[in-house]
Amino acid sequence: MHEKNRTIEIFDTTLRDGEQTPGISFTTEQKRTIARQLDALGVDIIEAGTPITSKEEKEVVQLICDEGLSAKICGLARILTQDIDACVDCGVDMIHIFVPSSEIQREHTTKMSEAKVKEQAYKMTRYVKERGFMCMFSAMDATRTRLEFLIDLYKTAEEGGADILNVPDTVGISEPFAMYELVGEIYRAVKVPISIHCHNDFGLAVANSLAAVKAGASEVQVSVNGIGERAGNADLVETVMSLNAIYGLKTNIKTERLFEMAKLIERITGIPIPVTKPVVGDNAFSHESGIHTHGVIVRTDTFEPGIMTPEMVGHRRRIVLGKHTGKHSVEKKLSEIGMSPSKEELEEILERIKELGASGKRVTDDDLFSIAEVVMGEIARHERIVVLKELSVMTGNNLIPTASLKAVVRGKECTSAQMGLGPVDAALKAIQQVIGGEIDGDIELKDFRIEAITGGSDALAEVIVGVKKGDRFVTARGVREDIVMASVEAFINAVNRLMQR
């Protein structure tokens, strides 16, 4: 069942299973923003929520249905008429009904016999179809359900009119070989399409989803950043890129929007994307060690998959400086700002970068350029285009954080006052406004990290930023006792370096 031309449907459950992540609750506006972004990404179906849960949940699902998106909107329902009616009221395109099917769940939750589950599954699929809706049927905990009964149940739902059958690995206990066997059995027993819904309790959700596709499933259920119950669901970006790049299968996803999508969910949930996360993590296309960076500078697929590039997923490649840095990356970064050290100077610069990296410090581009200027005796050469003169910030429990700032940009004194979500946000907006008025082209703040480098309430704050202008990207640091000052200092250092040619 591994035909190359198949298009696999992407069913996104970020707003439903994703919202069941302990500690996550989206506001109405956040849900609408996520739905619009998922639609722009190209997902085929958006599971918008479980309308029976509350009046508010029902209203949000209704609002998402009214957005007029291209994606189909799906609502979740137990096999109960009132749950299904709530979905109908919202105007969804598809109703996803589910019932516990494993012995352990039936005995300890619904107390329904296998016969009763079958009877109710039939009645409720018919109920959905008689009301004129597309019906997805899920046998919850399918991977722990007696196989004979499971097949019988899916056939019953098919007879009732289900348009698609979903196979949930509810507690994430399957593994790819078992999943391949199970989905293969179901695929051979029914005629309607199969969807797969994997949880990540053993870190196998994506692998299990791929195995299910190989066995015949034509739809995968995923969530952005893998959020969901316990260890979450199969991650959308990893699943899509594996299907595309490894299996050579099509999806309707605009992959160049994947990074942006993952960042939106990171920002809204406050759950940081780990640096090592495949595809969208900070390190996914970063290189530090000498051998790797040399290879990548010559030809990127020497130390990257090649079948997946940062451009394909809207991410970017980074050459990172540190204790493993080799001379090729130093030479390349310096040549970008027109510095060409001699062989001896290059060795000296490299030595100092490695020392800085070995001391446990993150080495920024600004550090590299400062070291190079010292080694090459060019201290005076670095003209500062932006110089901060004054900064004051007001914040408090009953106050919108506001920053006012005076700076000299290209010799001209400029002022700005801005409000923000917090004092750092307000100060960075003020400095960006001042700079934006005097320098052509957009300067974008891409990365921002705060670390305390000493302990206690008087700790030194270290802020590292990554700033982009056109195709140039520069990292710089600011270190102060005051987080706001450290942030503005880091930003100004980066802009000064960006403008250096």
What DSSP assignment string belongs to 97-154? EEEE-SHHHIIIII---HHHHHHHHHHHHHHHHHTT-EEEEEEETGGGS-HHHHHHHH
Taking CB under 6 A as the rule, which mask of x and - marks residues 132-171 in contact with ligand KIV?
------x-x-------------------------x-x-x-
415 beta partners: 406
How many Å is the maximal CA-CA distance in the chain?
85
Nearer to ligand KIV, 229 or 425 (CB): 229
Please report, as residue ranges, which positions from 180 to 199 form the binding site for ligand KIV (by CB under 6 A). Answer: 197, 199
The strand ranges marked E within 348-490 are 386-396, 399-409, 412-419, 443-452, 461-469, 472-480
Output the smallest distance, CB 168 to ligand KIV, in A: 3
Specify the amino acid at residue 325. T
Please report, as residue ranges, which positions from 39 to 98 form the binding site for ligand KIV (by CB under 6 A). Answer: 98
Q: Who's near 306: CB < 8 A, 6+ residues apart? A: 300
Angle between helices 81-90 and 114-130 (to 10 degrees): 30
Nearer to ligand KIV, 172 or 357 (CB): 172
Residue 58 interacting partner from Zn ion, ligand KIV, none (CB closer than 5 to 8 Å by kind): none
Residue 98 interacting partner from Zn ion, ligand KIV, none (CB closer than 5 to 8 Å by kind): ligand KIV
Of 164, 187, 117, whose CA–CA distance to 145 is shortest? 117
Q: Is 234 in the site for ligand KIV (CB under 6 A)?
A: no
Q: Is 418 in the site for ligand KIV (CB under 6 A)?
A: no
Please report, as residue ranges, which positions from 196 to 215 form the binding site for ligand KIV (by CB under 6 A). Answer: 197, 199
Output the smallest distance, CB 104 to Zn ion, in A: 16
Residue 354 interacting partner from Zn ion, ligand KIV, none (CB closer than 5 to 8 Å by kind): none
Residue 398 sits at φ, ψ, to 5 deg, of -120, 30
Taking CB under 5 A as the rule, which mask of x and - marks residues 11-30 in contact with Zn ion?
------x-------------
Q: Is 17 in the site for ligand KIV (CB under 6 A)?
A: yes
Q: How far apart are the first and last CA of the chain?
A: 56
450 class by beta-carbon count within 10 Å (0-12 exposed, 13-18 middle, 19+ buried) = middle
Say if residues 487 and 424 touch (Cβ distance below 8 Å). yes
Indicate left, alpha or beta for 110 from its phi (over 0: left) and psi (-120 to 50: alpha). Answer: alpha
Nearer to ligand KIV, 222 or 279 (CB): 222
* CB count in 10 Å sphere of residue 383: 9
Output the smallest distance, CB 208 to ligand KIV, in A: 12
Nearer to ligand KIV, 197 or 315 (CB): 197
Output the smallest distance, CB 110 to Zn ion, in A: 17
137 beta partners: 97, 165
Nearer to ligand KIV, 87 or 140 (CB): 140
- For Zn ion, the binding residues (CB under 5 A) are 17
- For ligand KIV, the binding residues (CB under 6 A) are 17, 98, 138, 140, 166, 168, 170, 197, 199
